[in-house]
Structure 1
């Protein structure tokens, strides 16, 4: 595993990014907005962009559902970090796969780029996203047949535990977990930091 920050709501824990990226000023982050195109996550995306800029980062926004392979590859290659927003996880994975952004991101993280995932962006980093159908609709992704995630980590994030909007869905996921996969539930004020073999649950 490389360097990752997996959060429910990035804006609440953004200052913790410096735990794995201590020198942020002047660095560039590819900001992938795709998941939010099929979900009402606009406020959280605006907050995330503002928080990233407040940390001194340059933000390059891209939607992998419509961007060319060349633009995706060159944008990520010229950035220090990758940020994947919240929204609909199934639409996100479908778009990542059909654009080949999944392979580009996986290689970039293996080569040392930091991955930041918020909600759907955190879920898709794991081995498989099928479990999130108790929170997200599969309807926006009619061509997605394989629910295999990016595999950046060997566990599955359950975001928004005890949250005001999606807390019941998150609890439902945990109730129906059959123990075949490692599930880590996180509240909106929590995140998982991964730095190589070290995995840490942090709070605001």
Structure 2
């Protein structure tokens, strides 16, 4: 794959375990070469039985991708795996509690390295919490039910895009009102994805895939 300097290649998923995600997967296939692509996995929390990792391995295998390496941040952290992780063609940021995930990324000193990887080297794939972490700040996670993690005091994400992101959107007046209030407060465009929707960022091009909800601050 040819990747120019500062060439963002980001894929935002709301969910993975449903057929509708194939519409987002098609864009991922354009970014990765199925004959050679190796993907690294960062778990949002301990997964001792590799339940979620194994499921993602099978998911990627259907497209010929190799989910090659598992990195856990909190319990079974192995820093000697990091060089291999960042040598992968893509890195998968798993779902989970966004605040807990961000806390441990900060604790392990991986935020800057992940940002540089995404801007200059490989594809970053975010699922739910992992996708939120790619944005400027992560408090949009409360809109999909994430509970704040008390030790976390810095809510800044990787800052790879200008928009805010909310997964698992429910089409109710109450949910739309909460999203609009958040958008107005943050003064930032918000994209909300139903499960099966997604967003693909390639360089300066942002592609909304599926029935993505777009919210704009009222006074912009």
Same fold judged by TM-score > 0.5?
yes
| Offset of residue 178 of structure 1 | 4.0
1:25 aligns to what SS in structure 2?
coil
- Would you say the 8 A contact 2:71–2:78 is kept in 1? no
Q: Of 192, 198, 202, which residue of structure 2 is paired with 1:185?
A: 192
Q: Of 5, 27, 31, which residue of structure 2 is paired with 1:16?
A: 27
| Offset of residue 130 of structure 1 | 1.6
Q: Of 117, 130, 141, which residue of structure 2 is paired with 1:121?
A: 130
**2:157 alignment counterpart:** 149
Structure 1's consecutive aligned runs of 4 or more residues displaced over 6 angstroms after TM superposition are none
Q: What are the Cα deviations for residues 167-190 of structure 1, in whole angstroms up to 9, with x where unaligned?
A: 899646414324212110111111
| Offset of residue 62 of structure 1 | 1.1
Q: What are the Cα deviations for residues 93-124 of structure 1, in whole angstroms up to 9, with x where unaligned?
A: 00100101212211111112000000000111
1:96 aligns to what SS in structure 2?
helix
Pair 49,169 (structure 1): closer, same or farther in 2 beyond 3 Å = farther
RMSD over aligned Cα atoms: 2.5
Q: 1:172 and 1:136 mapped to 2: Cα distance?
A: 18
Residue-pair matches, total = 192
Pair 78,20 (structure 1): closer, same or farther in 2 beyond 3 Å = closer
TM-score by length of 2: 0.77
List gaps (5 residues or longer) in structure 1.
Answer: none
- Would you say the 8 A contact 1:35–1:89 is kept in 2? no
| Offset of residue 35 of structure 1 | 4.4
Answer with 1 or 2: which has the greater Rg.
Answer: 2
Q: What are the Cα deviations for residues 110-147 of structure 1, in whole angstroms up to 9, with x where unaligned?
A: 11200000000011100001232241011xx3321010
Q: 1:94 and 1:63 mapped to 2: Cα distance?
A: 13
Q: 2:9 and 2:146 mapped to 1: Cα distance?
A: 26
**2:8 alignment counterpart:** 2
**1:34 alignment counterpart:** 44
Q: 2:27 and 2:106 mapped to 1: Cα distance?
A: 30
Q: 1:106 and 1:47 mapped to 2: Cα distance?
A: 26
- Would you say the 8 A contact 1:129–1:149 is kept in 2? yes
List gaps (5 residues or longer) in structure 2.
Answer: 1-6, 212-220
